[in-house]
Every structure is written in C-alpha cells, then in structure tokens.
Amino acid sequence: MLLPGQSIWCILLPLCMSVCGLEISGDEVICSQGLSDCTMNKRNILVVEDNNAVNVQNLTPSIELCCRDSATCTLCLVIDIDINIHLDKVIEDEGHSGYEEEDYSGETERNSNASVTVCYYAVHTLPMCKKVEFTVNHTALTLQNQAKISVKITKPAGVSFSSQVFVYSTPPPPPREVVSPSLDEVCSQEWKERVEECHVPSLNCVIDQKMNWVELHFGRNKSPPSVCVQYEKNGICQIWNRTTIPLHSVTPCMCLQVWDEDDQRSMRTQSCPFINNTDSLQRSVWQNVSVFVSQGQMNNYHTMLSWNLSAPCRLGGEVWPCQKENSSCCREMKGFRQQLENGTWRQNSKGHWETIRVFEDIHVQLSTCVMVEVKGMGHELGPFCLKNSLLADDRSRWILLFVGVMLLVCLAVLMFYLLHDFVKKWAWSWHHGGFVKIGRKGHMVVLLSPPDVDDGVSESVCQLGSQLFNQGFSVSVDQWSRKEQCTMGPLPWLHSQLLQLKSLGGRVVLVLTRKALERAEEWTHGNKEVIKMKGDKGLPQICSPYSDVFTASLFLIQADKQLGRAGERFLLVKLDSHPSIDRRLPELFQGLPLFQLPSQIQALLSELTMGRTGRRSGRRTRTRWKWSAKTKKGQDQQKASHCKYVGPEKNLEQRL
C-alpha cells in the first residue's frame, strides 16, 4: 500500500503490481512492478560502486512530516527515483559470473540482480548515502524497461526545520534541491500537538488593580521561559525579565512572545491578551501621546511646519495646524488637515510608534500650533505650539553649553592638580622678576667644595650636584674631577672650567663651611699684609693658588672684585645641615649672592638661570626636594668619602 503524498505510480495491468516494502530502522523502500526483493542499506560515500545496467533518469525529493499511530511526528526525506534498466547489460553481467544457469529457451522466467545509490546532504553537513538493491524480473518489466523506486528516510541526518537539502545519485543526474517546512508552518497545522518542537509554554495574564500591575503566569512548574514584549504584532520585541508588567505600560496593542531558551527551540508563541480590554487600557495610550513641532524650509525656500507624533500604538485620527489666540482658543488654519492612518509609522528606540509629517507652504509664526484628534478619545489633544518647541531647543542649547563649561572647568582643575609643582615654580619665578624656564638646557654650574671635606660635607656636595644635574644643568663638581686636577693642577683646571662656563653661560657655586670662612679670613688678612709690606725684604708667606681648588677660587674672586664683576660668576651656598655659622662673612665674600640650602633652593635655581634679581629679599619658599642631611652621628658612621651618582664620570660634565 502506498503512503499518502508519495508519487509512486502504478501500471494498471490485470495482475496486481509487484510491490516490495522493507523497513529498516524506520527507513522504507518501495519498488514498482518488475522489481522485487528490494532492500536498502547505508553506504559509505567514499566507496560508491556504479551499476552500468541501471540508469537514473530523474530524482524527485520531498520532505514530509511522518506521523505513525500515536507516536511523535518526525521529518522524513522521501526520494522518488525513475530508473531505466538495460536488460542486455544485466544479462551480460550475469554471463560473466559463471555457467551455473542454463538456457531453457524462454520457458522459464529469468531474474537478475541490480542496484542504485542515492545520496543527500544538508548545508554544512557531510553527505549520507543509501544503496537500494533489488531483483529485476525481465518478463514483468513494462515497455522501454522503466521502473520506479520510492525511498523514505526517517530523521535524516543533519536535516531540521527550514533546512536546505540536496539529493543526487550515481551515476548522477543533476542534483535536486528541496527545503524542509518551517517550524511555524508545521506548528500551525492540526498535528502540532504531536510535534515535540511545537510544545511551547502557555501564558496567562492577570490584571491586579490593587498592586497596579499585570502578573504573568506560565502553565508549568519548571523554570520560567523567556519573554519579550512588543507593541503591535509586527513591532520590535524587547526582552522582559520580570513576571509583572506595570499597568501604566500596558496597552491594548501590547503582545507577548514566550519560548524556551534552555531547550534551544526557536518556536515562539505570540499572544495579544489585552486587545479586548480597549476601554480600560486605552487611557495608557492617550497619556503617552507626545507631539513635537518644528519649523523647516522646502526646496523652493517656502516655509513648512513639521510635526512628529509618537504613541505606544498606531493611532487613527486627524492633525491640523492652528493659530493660538489666547490660552483657551486656537483657531484652525483651513485646508491643512491630515489623517493619521495615511502616514508611515515606524518604531523608535523606546519601542513607541511614531509618524513624521509636514504642512507645506504654511505661514509659520511663534504662535503656530498643532491640534490632534484621536479616534475614540472624545476630546482633542493640544495645542502643541512651535514656541514651546523653540524654548525646548533653547533649553537644550543652554544645557549643552553648561555641560561644556563644566567639562572645561573640571579639565582645568585636573591639569592644575597634575601640574601643581610646575605652576608653583612659574609663580615663584614671576614674583621674582619674570617667567623663567627652570633648569634651562645648556647652562653650566661649577660646584666647588670647601677645604674641610669630611664625609657629611662631601655627601651634601655630591647630592647638590646630582640634583642640579637632574634639573637640566650641565654640572661640574671638583670632587668628580680629581684625575683631571692631578694632571692639570687646581688653578689650570679651574681656568678651563671658567672658559666652558663663559661659552655656555652659568655660575660658579662655592659651598661654605666654618673652615671655609676661616680659610677665607686668613687669606684676606695675608693678602693685606702683602700689600702693606710690598717692597720690604721679608714678605709674609701666603698660600699658593696652585695648592688646591678652593684657594685658587679665592684668587679668582679677588681678581673679579677688583674688576667689579665678582657677582657675575661666583655665588655662595650655606648648608643648613652643617653646624650653624654665626661669624660674619669675610670681606672677600661680601657682595656675593648667598643662599641657605635647602630652604632657598628655588631662589638658587632662579639665580642660576636668569642671573641677579631681587633674590636677597629674605623670602623663602617651600620645596619638594628630598634633602638627605646627615647628622654628626651619621657622619661618624659613614665610610670613606665617595660621591654617589648615576652614569660614567665622563658624561656628567659633558651632558647637556
């Protein structure tokens, strides 16, 4: 018996058609008259044998829903195969098999074995093949040796709803394409209850006026399904993750879709449960109607009035412009009425429906407004005036301006916080004679140590040199150049540094201690004695300028003072970490700039950069420099005097 929907044809002969049907794991094969003992087996796609005796003329595939008894319905692939059998080749193939058969001169019915292979595959899947084997009854075949085979494959691999399937055979005619029915199509038919994929959760909505919300109930106890809410059946569906909906958001056009996300089913059920509650829920639509009016210009430079109406549902009614005369009266401008139904509606980002229309060639004034009449509402909405829209635009512009100013203020505060130290330096420099580029690149500083160089003083001098170097100065410290002093001598070395200082610009910084002041006083006193006793035979003995760098600097300071330029090249520095120096400055040092460190480090930087200013006003600034002064106890614990700096000695004097 042929299954409904299958295109198996029968040859009307006095005898019944020879039909052979075999079911293997739900698969079936049906052969027409002249073929018997039909069987179907799975075949490897890599090993497909061609049967030259059978020629496939046509393939007709289809995908149907197979429902057996009360079992669950599944998809089946049905392939109708039209074949042509070459009897001479079948006999020839059998003749090669041996001499077991005898010729009875046609008195005995002759039978032969043959086969055909069909394959199918869905998109992105590997092909699956089925080989149909059968026995050919030569005498029962119709004229032209044609026959038909129908193959039904239950649950074909890789085939699901809306799948695109290709079917071919060997030897092949052109491949045939077939598309399986969609899930929506299947679930809309009478047997949807027997299709497992059509089973979707039921939804029941209950309005709770006391709690002012709508409760969503699902007809099962397991985890709640996925829900989305949409206005109108073809609207955008927005995911809803709660089991209640506020009543003010519910409208007659609201629909809900429910589906099982965890079961990976694409079938959804859509219901619009509030469509019959028009009277009680229509107010939510009217309360959410908004109208925006603006002025525009047409291509012919005539004015036009643009209006934008949005609401949760698409509305019917009329819109017309009017001229507002007072707070309670708006006179209609004749000839401009427009129907809401005739416009194009689209959904905005909030899910509401909106329509945008214009009144062309209209005289627009600030008092021009728009009135709206919605069907079923009973009264008009409006007026919505252009003046209010312009005020809203102005308000938006002022808000944007305020936000921009606040952003600039915040940015300025952030920049001031990040550049706090830099701003302090510039402010101090302006207060002391103009803006200064602290640590200008190329300026040179020659730092000379006092004659009593112990570990504490040596450490302080080296630290001062390193800090000046980090500020961008080219620093030369006598303690860093002992090898050159031994080679050239103290006075020639100092002269060479002064030559570089003259070309680069900069100052010589002389560090003072108690011993340095005593040495300067002795040198000054000895120098005066030399002048008084000039010409006598017994001249007093004074220190040689070649003895050390400090003594050589005293000779150079004396020479600069005689020329009136001592303050241009030399300045003095006292260290707060050193025991206080109460004695008065020697006459040789009087008139030279003097700085107390680290309290006057900013003044020293300004002096080294821009020269002499009103620095000796006694002002002192705070500094963030880290000054590691050593106490007398720490000095005793230190090892031999070593200068601590980073990088080769050669680069410290030549860098920058």
Same domain (yes/no): 36, 184 = yes
The rounded distance, in Å, linking the Cα atoms of 298 and 361 is 8
Q: Quick check: 151 and 176 in contact, CB under 8 A?
A: no
The rounded distance, in Å, linking the Cα atoms of 18 and 395 is 89
Residue 136 forms part of a structural domain: yes
Same domain (yes/no): 68, 208 = no
Residue 183 forms part of a structural domain: yes
Residue with the larger pLDDT of the pair 187 and 285: 285
User: What is Dmax (Cα atoms) for the chain?
Assistant: 170
Determine the residue type at 230.
Q
Mean pLDDT in residue range 301-327? 91
| pLDDT at residue 106 in the model | 44
Kind and range of the H or E run holding 318:
strand 317-326
> pTM of the full predicted structure?
0.44
Residue 620 forms part of a structural domain: no
What DSSP assignment string belongs to 153-195?
A: EES-TT--TT-EEEEEEES--S-EEEEPPPHHHHHTSTTGGG-
Does pLDDT of 226 surpass 70? yes
| pLDDT at residue 146 in the model | 85
CATH number for the domain that contains residue 250: 2.60.40
Residue 631 forms part of a structural domain: no
Same domain (yes/no): 596, 481 = yes
| pLDDT at residue 532 in the model | 58
Same domain (yes/no): 243, 326 = no
Same domain (yes/no): 590, 559 = yes
Residue pLDDT, tens place only, 548-598: 888 888 888 888 888 888 778 889 998 765 555 556 788 888 888 888 888
- Average pLDDT over the chain, rounded to whole? 77
47 falls in which pLDDT band (50, 70, 90)? low
Same domain (yes/no): 468, 487 = yes
Same domain (yes/no): 184, 209 = no
CATH number for the domain that contains residue 604: 3.40.50.11530
Residue pLDDT, tens place only, 126-150: 999 999 999 888 776 765 688 899 9
Same domain (yes/no): 473, 588 = yes
Same domain (yes/no): 73, 208 = no
Mean pLDDT in residue range 284-303? 88
Last residue of a domain, one of 167, 188, 209: 188
Same domain (yes/no): 386, 474 = no
Mean pLDDT in residue range 41-46? 76
Last residue of a domain, one of 188, 214, 238: 188
Nearest to 117 by CA among 102, 106, 104, 132: 132
Residue 97 forms part of a structural domain: no
Same domain (yes/no): 319, 348 = yes
Residue 300 forms part of a structural domain: yes
Residue 19 forms part of a structural domain: no
Indicate the number of domains in the chain. 4
Residue 427 forms part of a structural domain: no
Q: State which residues form the domain around 42.
A: 28-88+111-188
Does pLDDT of 637 surpass 50? no
The rounded distance, in Å, linking the Cα atoms of 379 and 381 is 7
605 falls in which pLDDT band (50, 70, 90)? confident
CATH number for the domain that contains residue 348: 2.60.40.10
| pLDDT at residue 311 in the model | 94
If DSSP codes are grouped into helix, strand and coil, which group holds residue 334?
coil
Last residue of a domain, one of 283, 311, 338: 283
Phi-psi map region of 563: left, alpha, beta (phi>0 left; psi -120 to 50 alpha):
alpha
Residue pLDDT, tens place only, 420-477: 766 666 665 565 444 444 444 557 899 888 877 677 788 888 888 888 888 888 888 8
CATH number for the domain that contains residue 82: 2.60.40.2160
Same domain (yes/no): 168, 118 = yes
